[in-house]
Amino acid sequence: MQFTPKKSFENYLKPFTGASGTKAKKRESTGGRFIPSRVTSNLTQLFEKADQENSNTGKTPFDSTKIFSSLLESQLFGDATNRQSSNKLLSYRTGMINLTECKENQAFSQMELPNENFESCQRVLPKIPYKVLDAPQLQDDFYLNVLDWSAKDVLAVALSNSIYLWSAVTSSVVHMCDFNNDIVGSLSWGPSGNHLAVGTTSGKVLLYDVEKKNTVRTLPGHGGRVGALAWNNWLLTSGSRDKEILHRDLRCSKDFTAKLIGHKQEICGLKWSFEGDQLASGGNDNKLVVWSAQSVTPLYKFKSHTAAVKAVAWSPHEHGVLVSGGGTTDRTIRTWNTLNGTPISAVDTQSQVCSLVFSKNYNELVSTHGYSQNQIMLWKHPSMQKIGVFTGHTSRVLYMAMSPDSQNIVTGAGDETLRFWNLFPRKESDKYTYSNLLPSVTDMR
């Protein structure tokens, strides 16, 4: 079974000609002003005569430029006595500018635009994905996590009992392995991109060396399907339907080095913080639990969600900031301070929250949703102001992964498609920061 590009988006490339399909006609000229001819007139004599008339009547010569400027100013801004009340119209400026003292372009240099707002208005968000791949037998199961993007720009996806690798550099597809009597419940790339951890519905965790194409280790320990995996350097953490979380230090021979018990139902979300000091777990018991890396006792238990918590993400911009999303009967995205265990904010998304991921290039958050709108949403953080909504999937968007350069995301849904979105284009200031990385997906389209 192979990925095949969708062709349903070709119509978007056709030029738009309007409702009638014809170009608009130019407006025909119906006439013009009558301008008298002064070819035979002596303009010098006329001006001299006008000056003599002014001097004879005793009138003071006037400055026409000054009067015109005053008239124009009054028409544009109103009478000077009533003008002070409308100063807020240009409140983003630091103060009034003396136009008589400034240089030619000084007026523009005095304008202050907030960098954040200016950056947002310059950024164009996509209306459609730039790539769509078929993913037959992609599981429509809220509790699974079967899509991940490696540091080497390789996408891993589980289709029923098979795992496929898709290279964003070459667009080639490799069939990695099959599980004859098992189904993949989760997968997660190691930090280097050389090893892929796979959790199955039978409760096993397998570690694959992708370069050598063989199984490095098989790690038992769970009594139910493994639907969540998370890495912290050499520490691989797994969460299962058996309500347990296991730490596995891959440098030692033990199957697991610690067992964490804090949920009463299946664990469906796991994520280590970027600093590696805290672990977040979400469960079907509607609880979000925060663990210290040094303890098997929960640090905090948050019980505000009213549905399963699968979506969890740590902020790469601020230490100790965690976001979580609830299922169908909850529909909220909540932000937490895990340094003191306090809630920060909550927003109702009006839809089941399936996955969350932070951008490293912008302080923004992406959420994917299921019932009832199957949309992808982009939020400004920490204000949680909605920036964009992206549609296209016809079933709930259960899976999401981010490219290693943080420019693109891929989403997977029960409609058996993978869709690629360029939401976070590289900033001009960062243009050379990523020069040593492999070519991104956008360079290959």
313-363 tens-digit pLDDT: 999 999 999 999 999 999 999 999 999 999 999 999 999 999 999 999 999
Tokens 């280790």: give the residue.
217
- d(C-alpha 328, C-alpha 369), whole Å: 9
- d(C-alpha 237, C-alpha 397), whole Å: 24
Tokens of 29: 């000229």
Contact by Cβ (8 Å): 422, 130: yes
- d(C-alpha 419, C-alpha 374), whole Å: 13
Average pLDDT over residues 113-119: 41
Average pLDDT over residues 50-74: 54
- Higher local confidence (pLDDT), 152 or 441: 152
Contact by Cβ (8 Å): 207, 227: no
Confidence grade of residue 22 (pLDDT, cut at 50, 70, 90)? very low
Average pLDDT over residues 39-65: 52
Average pLDDT over residues 246-265: 97
Question: What are the backbone angles phi and psi of residue 137, rounded to the nearest 5°?
Answer: 70, 25
Q: Write down the pLDDT at residue 84.
A: 46
Residue 242 has pLDDT above 90, yes or no: yes
Q: How far is CA 14 from CA 9, 17, 232, in A?
A: 10, 9, 47
Which of the residue ranges 18-32, 128-142, 154-168 would you say has the lowest mean pLDDT? Answer: 18-32
Residue 244 has pLDDT above 60, yes or no: yes
Q: Write down the pLDDT at residue 213.
A: 87
Give the distance from CA 306 to its chain's centroid: 25
Angle (CA) 380-338-321 rounded to 5° is: 20
- d(C-alpha 135, C-alpha 56), whole Å: 94
Average pLDDT over residues 168-189: 95
Which of the residue ranges 95-99, 296-300, 367-371 would you say has the lowest mean pLDDT? Answer: 95-99
* Class of residue 267 by CB neighbours under 10 A (exposed 0-12, middle 13-18, buried 19+): buried
| Sheet bearing 205-209, strands edge to edge | 184-189, 195-200, 205-209, 214-219
Confidence grade of residue 72 (pLDDT, cut at 50, 70, 90)? low
Contact by Cβ (8 Å): 269, 286: no
**Which domains, ranges and CATH numbers included, belong to the chain?**
131-443 (2.130.10.10)
- d(C-alpha 405, C-alpha 399), whole Å: 19
Residue 290 has pLDDT above 60, yes or no: yes
| Sheet bearing 408-412, strands edge to edge | 131-134, 417-422, 408-412, 399-402
Residue 369 has pLDDT above 50, yes or no: yes
Bridge partners of residue 379, in order along the sequence: 365, 386
Contact by Cβ (8 Å): 311, 354: yes
68's CB contacts (< 8 A; 6+ apart) are none
- Higher local confidence (pLDDT), 239 or 115: 239
75's CB contacts (< 8 A; 6+ apart) are none
67 secondary structure, DSSP code: H
- d(C-alpha 250, C-alpha 248), whole Å: 6
Q: Write down the pLDDT at residue 38.
A: 55
Contact by Cβ (8 Å): 186, 163: no
120 secondary structure, DSSP code: H
Assessment of whether the complete model's pTM goes beyond 0.75: no
Residue 287 has pLDDT above 80, yes or no: yes
Tokens of 244: 């347990």
What is the average pLDDT score of the chain? 80
- d(C-alpha 201, C-alpha 242), whole Å: 11
Q: Is the peptide bond before 382 cis (omega within 30 degrees of 0)?
A: yes
